[in-house]
Chains A and B, each alone.
Chain A
Amino acid sequence: AQSVTQLGSHVSVSEGALVLLRCNYSSSVPPYLFWYVQYPNQGLQLLLKYTTGATLVKGINGFEAEFKKSETSFHLTKPSAHMSDAAEYFCAVSWGTDKLIFGTGTRLQVFP
């Protein structure tokens, strides 16, 4: 069965430090890849998406992610964390006409 794995349900970083949130998926078939962010008691907002083309994708709020087919990964990074980045982040993967599968989420804490 197809699956999405987010390693680490909680990640803590200091303000100004690198943010790295990991996402791996199960199938080698080229997927559509998404990262969403959720602030407390709100819905999810799209951060970035990969469909085709350049494997390094830039999103909102300074986030970016790189699609690595050989590693079946789509890790999310940001060079310098801000306090406002504290939220829950979800990776989601679709194989086109199949359903969209969400990871279980990673809660990012940013310490001053």
Chain B
Amino acid sequence: DGGITQSPKYLFRKEGQNVTLSCEQNLNHDAMYWYRQDPGQGLRLIYYSQIVNDFQKGDIAEGYSVSREKKESFPLTVTSAQKNPTAFYLCASSTDRHYNSPLHFGNGTRLTVT
């Protein structure tokens, strides 16, 4: 079955360390997204990519970086510059570059930084 795989499910890091969250899809989707979810705040867009080798900042990109070297993969790095990194991170993809197609989500990575 096609889908989105996020790994690991839980991640623990010390403050000051960079950490990379993995996101892989086998849906052959062009567009991929990273969202951050905090209790009571819904989903906030960190970065998105509509095509390989291109990506755009979302609403809360500061302290994060991404790459899109392959269509299937869109890893997110949480850098030490991110002031409050503890959160639930969701990766998603969609069939085209417009926002009228449904998003397909992975099961998320819960990051805890102490």
Contacts and interface: CB of A to CB of B under 8 A. Distances in A.
Interface in A89-105: 90, 94-100, 102-105
Interface of B: 4, 6, 9, 40-43, 45, 58, 90, 92, 98-100, 102-108, 110
17 contacts: A32-B100, A36-B103, A36-B105, A41-B107, A41-B108, A43-B90, A43-B105, A44-B43, A44-B92, A44-B105, A90-B42, A94-B99, A96-B100, A97-B98, A103-B42, A104-B40, A105-B42
A67 B85 CA distance: 37
A43 B99 contact: no
A42 interface: yes
Given A43-B107, A46-B102, A100-B99, 20 more contacts: A32-B99, A34-B102, A41-B107, A41-B110, A43-B6, A43-B106, A44-B43, A44-B103, A44-B105, A94-B99, A94-B100, A96-B98, A99-B45, A100-B103, A102-B43, A103-B42, A104-B40, A104-B41, A105-B40, A105-B42
Contact of A46 (B9, B40, B43, B103): B103
Contact of A49 (B6, B98, B102, B105): B102
Contact of B107 (A42, A96, A99, A104): A42
